[in-house]
Structure 1
């Protein structure tokens, strides 16, 4: 069936509510492999978003695909009320990974998607603390189910669905390029943290009872590096200080690793970079490399043990599904076998050097930054600061045309847009991206900025 025939059918039969029509006709792709997706003309598109970091290990990863096929042919379906070896072994591997990283013993609880993992984290917090109010960050994204929307800062995800009485208290994230308070990092002395700590000075600030030393808010949901918010990386020392503030006030810390986990940042968990010691940690996306949806939540033993969180506390038909668990177990084997920490950091440094070259060349690139292979390009006006959404959209659409010539061959470029002003390209290439493919990415970005930065 041709692309035009598919577009006609989509306009007639498909809800636009379950996908995103950022362009009039979203691109139709036909196949994928490694770092590339291919359209109906077999034009290769270098993918720098990898399904929002759900495919860290590349398309058609043979080891992971073979594990899925073997499981389908062995025991492909199993109700989640029963046990399977993949589920138990995967729980063990994730628990031991987190214990190794943060020196805390806990247990793993599975669900299907990232939003559902957040929902389960909210249930764990409420069950443990008896409270239903949360702290979260401006620019934070934790999902679009009703509970997850209440701790996601963007009002546009809530506006169609009535009143959210449990909406989080949103504190400014340390987005130093565009500081909420207009400060500069070199002399601000973490002013944003001081503003947060002032909430606990007196009962009249509305969250704290100094007589009982009790906070009305149960937990702080964080992304160590903001995902949809634009891959914003916090300054050194910030999270160590924040953790101290919340721990002293017995506020739980929930670490959302759904987008940044599994070596996206050069470490298994992004929190390892910042001295964060989570009480609860959520994960998903690349746990199965996008092959079969599976997400989960890890929590400290005292928060999640069966005496406090008994069977049936939460449930989904496809939670801990055996196909996802088998692929997840293979992913955990993969990260033990290969030196992703070394290679991701090396490749990230090489990629960032290319982005810094582009920043020097184009005034319309106001800021670039990266940690591992989580990288950002902030697109601006010629003043290198004012957000330029129009140019961002134009570059995105031009990349999807598949008409970029390099060494006598046509390519396309798949980019993802995020950021507070939707003017940031958030780059999440395959962790297996080659040096030549990184060079290709810089060359294609160069062509796009050269053509459209006028």
Structure 2
């Protein structure tokens, strides 16, 4: 946390500010749509500045951020190297219609495609877009173009975005309820959520029972998915998150995805890997799917590629699915899809990832953070039912005194209390920024900055400890 010059910058912001916070809130109440997620909190929080692992309010008070813009700012807020790449591009080629080529697009696509070829032994191509949901839409077009089918599998607890197509394969009905009938809604399959096994099995002796249940769908044509005589499945693809994001950072058991992939290959079902939240080392590998020894047919990515500085997303697909003969010019289009600013930052991100061992960094720091969370769980067994994680994707499941029943009310209290900004940050008042996920909205999904220090991890544990004692004093 850098303090030099901050007071001067704060004074400048206060001088330049044309409206008080109360005036801004009144304007927001009257003119801003409430259709996004801001008003999940009754009084939304204003922030004025960001740097490293911290957000700052107008008073200069720091808030340690453990979710980093839903894992988009993995390399820290106001990352100097990535901002410098953005500034260079602003001065040289800030704008260009996507019907033309520029070097950054070509080099970034080549870097990702070559990397995937080295990892999976598969030749493929990269196609860019702006947001994660838009990239999901493009992947759906590739799937339909290849198979001629519109039905797909997805997991319960999945989150793939909120455009109409992405909402159809996102498991929450709440995201679809207002918008009529979704005839191509995915068929949702239980995710291997071992802490709350949907089949009531135990993690240590289930024998991957959940995979067996999926395989049974193809035993007979009367299960409605498979025509054994034609050797054809009604479903085109299975959309997965290797580690569920909004679903609660759930880590599947070893061997699960290998077993699932065998079934998909047998029935000629494509595997589409959504890495929007977990890609670029969040889960300890460049792609989270690498942790499970599976090669996907399509990868969808976004978020951390540009560290949130300029929206850019994309898909990588096997050559057989995306070659110019199969997916010709004009198959899809977005005005800002391969914009020069985003691709320039993305190219710098890839260069940065090649220079440092982020696999070692995220596994080492994530392992330390997870050990500290387990200490916290042992200290408060009547509050924390489960902690888990892979790399720097970590989860804290808040439960009732029995250690299992979801406690959404307490989770909401802890979340709101962290944003009050009156925790003791070792002699300084500060706040804690958390994100809530999970099937029952009782899970804190932690995605800290990769450059977080061990001292800041210890500070995070101290702040979480304070929040638990403050919000659940009768259980501590």
Q: Scaled by the length of structure 1, what TM-score is found? A: 0.99
Taking the TM superposition and a 5 Å limit, the aligned residue runs for 1:334-413 are 334-362=352-380, 363-413=382-432
2:410 is the alignment partner of 1:428: no
CA shift for structure 1 position 100: 1.7
Aligned to 1:322: 340
- Deviates most, 256-265 or 99-108: 99-108
CA shift for structure 1 position 30: 0.2
Out of 84, 95, 105, the position equivalent to 2:113 is: 95
CA shift for structure 1 position 364: 0.7
Q: Is the 8 A contact 1:95 1:298 kept in 2?
A: yes
CA shift for structure 1 position 146: 0.5
CA distance in 2, matches of 1:160, 1:420: 20
Aligned to 2:312: 294
What RMSD in Å do the two structures reach over aligned CA positions? Answer: 0.7
2:457 is the alignment partner of 1:438: yes
CA shift for structure 1 position 2: 2.1
CA distance in 2, matches of 1:353, 1:252: 37
CA distance in 2, matches of 1:96, 1:450: 50
CA distance in 2, matches of 1:135, 1:407: 49
Q: Is the 8 A contact 1:47 1:429 kept in 2?
A: yes
CA shift for structure 1 position 278: 0.2
SS in 2 for 1:330: helix
Q: Scaled by the length of structure 2, what TM-score is found? A: 0.95
Taking the TM superposition and a 5 Å limit, the aligned residue runs for 1:214-233 are 214-233=232-251
- Deviates most, 427-436 or 94-103: 94-103
Aligned to 2:10: none
Taking the TM superposition and a 5 Å limit, the aligned residue runs for 1:146-185 are 146-185=164-203
Structure 2 gaps, min length 5:
1-18
Structure 1 gaps, min length 5:
none
Out of 33, 52, 55, the position equivalent to 2:70 is: 52
The total of aligned residue pairs comes to 454
Q: Is the 8 A contact 1:174 1:234 kept in 2?
A: yes
2:32 is the alignment partner of 1:14: yes
Out of 143, 148, 161, the position equivalent to 1:130 is: 148
CA distance in 1, matches of 2:323, 2:35: 38
Aligned to 1:78: 96
Deviation string 1:210-242 (CA, Å, 9 cap, x unpaired) is: 101110000000000000000000000100100
Aligned to 2:4: none
Deviation string 1:390-442 (CA, Å, 9 cap, x unpaired) is: 00000000000000013210110000000000000000000111111101101
Aligned to 1:208: 226
CA distance in 2, matches of 1:256, 1:61: 25
CA shift for structure 1 position 345: 0.6
Q: Is the 8 A contact 1:76 1:323 kept in 2?
A: yes
Q: Is the 8 A contact 1:7 1:25 kept in 2?
A: no
SS in 2 for 1:21: helix
CA distance in 1, matches of 2:253, 2:87: 43
SS in 2 for 1:66: helix
